C-alpha cells in the first residue's frame, strides 16, 4: 500500500493548471504532484508524463499509481468518455473544471455507465457550476425559493489563454431557452453601489442546482469590469454563431494580441453573485464574493478542495464510486472559510 499520494495535473502548464499546481503545493504539501500534457518542455521542474487527449493509448501509462487526476486541459470541446473510463477503471479519481454542459453530461454519463467503477468523477469543479452549487446551499431554509440567479463579473486584466478565450466566446450568439447569449444586456447594482452590465450565458447545470433533495433552475449572466468589453460581446453575438468551432479557434488566436493589449486598461477585480429568487423574481437572499486581485485562484480552488477531500480517507469512504457532486465533498461553511482566509471579501444579505 503506497503512503504517498500522487496527483496528476493534466494541463499543468496552462493558465489554470499553473494556479492549481501552486494551490496544491500549499494545501497538500506531502502529496507528489505530476504534470501531464503534450509537451514536456512546458512542464517546468515538476515530474512530467505525456498524455495526449486525442490518443487514448497514452492514458494507461500516464495514470499509473495516480490517486487523483485533475483535467485542466481546456477547452472542454472534446469527448471525455475514454479518459473518464480509464480513470475509473484504474481506481483514479477524475476531476475537471468544465463549464460546457455537453462535456459535463458526457462525463456524468461515462461515470454512470462505467462497469464496476473503482473511483468517482467530479465534473464542473470550478466557479460555475462547482462553487455556485456549494454556495447555493445557503438557501436551504428558504421556503419561497423558486430559482437561483448567478452573475459573474470578470476582471479584464487577468491572464487570458487561447483556450480560455475560445471557451468564453463559443456560446456567444447561441440560443439559450428564451434568449440569445449576450444579445440583450441587463444591469445589476452591486453592494459597492456600482451598476454593472451583463449578458445572458449558458448555465452549465444538468438538472439545475440541488438544494437538499430538490432541484432549482439556474440563470447565469456574465460581464466585464469594462463596459466596452461587455458591449463588444453583444456585437460579437451577431458574428460568432456563423463561425465553425475551428474558424472561431483561429479567430481567437488572431484576436488574442488585441485582448492582451486591452488587459492594460482593465482591472483584476472580479465579482460572483449568487441570488435566491422567489416566484415573483424578487431577490430573497444573496451572497457576493469580491476578488480585488488573484481572481483566477477562485476557479482553480474547487479542484483543490475536491482533491483534498478525496485524499481524506474518512470523506472518501462516504462517497460511492461513479459521479460525485462537489457538494458531497465540500460544505458551504468550509468554502467560505477558505475564501475569506485567502483575502476575498464576502457580502451577504443580513
- C-alpha–C-alpha distance, residues 111 and 38, integer Å: 25
Alpha helices in the chain (DSSP H): 15-27, 59-63, 81-89, 101-113, 132-135, 162-169, 227-239, 245-262, 297-311, 313-318, 326-329, 332-341
- The nearest distance, CB 278 to ligand NAP, in angstroms, is 27
The x, y and z cell numbers of residue 304, run together, are 483543490
- The nearest distance, CB 329 to ligand NAP, in angstroms, is 17
Nearer to ligand NAP (CB atom), residue 58 or residue 146? 58
List interacting residues with ligand NAP (CB under 6 A): 10-11, 13-17, 37-39, 42, 51-54, 72-76, 97, 99, 126-128, 161-164, 167, 299
- The nearest distance, CB 74 to ligand NAP, in angstroms, is 2
Q: Which of 200, 271, 289 is nearest to 237 (CA)?
A: 200
CB 122 within 8 A of CB 71: no
- The nearest distance, CB 152 to ligand NAP, in angstroms, is 8
Whether the ω angle into residue 43 lies within 30 degrees of 0, i.e. cis, is no
Nearer to ligand NAP (CB atom), residue 276 or residue 326? 326
- The nearest distance, CB 80 to ligand NAP, in angstroms, is 12
Q: Which of 322, 287, 266 is nearest to 149 (CA)?
A: 287
- The nearest distance, CB 126 to ligand NAP, in angstroms, is 3
Nearer to ligand NAP (CB atom), residue 13 or residue 325? 13
Nearer to ligand NAP (CB atom), residue 59 or residue 286? 59
- C-alpha–C-alpha distance, residues 108 and 164, integer Å: 22
Nearer to ligand NAP (CB atom), residue 164 or residue 324? 164
Nearer to ligand NAP (CB atom), residue 126 or residue 307? 126
Give the list of residues 6+ apart from residue 94 with CB closer than 8 angstroms, or none: 69, 71, 83, 84, 87, 88, 107, 111, 119, 120, 121, 122, 123
Amino acid at each position: 500500500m503506497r503512503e504517498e499520494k500522487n496527483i496528476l495535473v493534466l494541463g499543468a502548464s496552462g493558465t489554470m493548471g499553473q494556479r492549481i499546481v501552486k494551490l496544491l503545493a500549499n494545501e497538500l504539501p506531502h502529496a507528489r504532484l505530476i504534470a501531464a500534457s503534450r509537451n514536456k518542455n512546458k512542464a517546468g521542474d515538476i515530474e512530467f508524463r505525456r498524455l495526449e487527449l486525442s490518443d487514448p493509448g497514452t492514458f494507461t501509462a500516464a495514470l499509473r499509481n495516480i490517486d487523483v487526476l485533475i483535467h485542466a486541459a481546456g477547452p472542454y470541446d472534446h469527448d471525455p468518455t475514454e479518459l473518464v473510463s480509464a480513470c475509473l477503471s484504474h481506481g483514479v479519481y477524475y476531476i475537471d473544471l468544465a463549464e460546457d454542459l455537453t462535456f459535463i453530461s458526457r462525463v456524468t454519463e461515462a461515470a454512470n455507465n462505467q462497469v464496476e467503477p473503482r473511483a468517482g468523477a467530479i465534473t464542473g469543479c470550478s466557479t460555475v457550476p462547482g462553487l455556485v452549487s456549494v454556495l447555493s446551499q445557503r438557501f436551504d431554509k428558504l421556503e419561497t425559493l423558486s430559482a437561483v440567479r448567478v452573475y459573474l463579473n470578470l476582471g479584464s486584466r487577468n491572464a487570458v489563454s487561447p483556450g480560455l478565450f475560445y471557451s468564453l466566446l463559443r456560446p456567444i450568439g447561441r440560443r439559450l431557452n428564451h434568449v440569445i447569449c449576450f444579445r440583450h444586456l441587463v444591469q445589476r447594482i452591486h453592494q459597492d453601489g456600482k451598476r454593472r452590465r451583463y449578458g445572458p450565458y449558458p448555465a452549465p447545470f444538468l438538472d439545475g442546482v440541488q438544494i437538499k433533495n430538490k432541484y432549482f433552475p439556474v440563470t447565469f449572466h456574465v460581464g466585464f469590469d469594462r463596459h466596452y468589453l461587455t458591449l463588444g460581446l453583444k456585437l460579437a453575438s451577431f458574428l460568432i454563431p456563423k463561425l465553425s468551432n475551428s474558424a472561431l479557434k483561429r479567430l481567437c488566436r488572431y484576436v488574442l494580441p488585441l485582448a492582451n493589449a486591452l488587459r492594460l486598461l482593465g482591472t483584476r477585480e472580479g465579482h460572483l453573485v449568487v441570488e435566491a429568487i422567489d416566484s415573483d423574481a424578487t431577490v430573497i437572499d444573496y451572497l457576493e464574493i469580491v476578488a480585488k486581485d488573484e481572481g483566477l485562484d477562485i476557479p482553480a480552488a474547487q479542484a483543490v478542495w475536491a482533491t483534498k477531500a478525496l485524499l481524506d480517507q474518512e470523506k472518501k469512504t462516504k462517497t460511492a464510486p461513479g459521479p460525485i457532486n462537489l457538494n458531497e465533498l465540500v460544505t458551504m461553511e468550509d468554502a467560505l472559510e477558505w475564501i475569506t482566509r485567502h483575502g476575498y471579501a464576502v457580502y451577504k444579505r443580513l
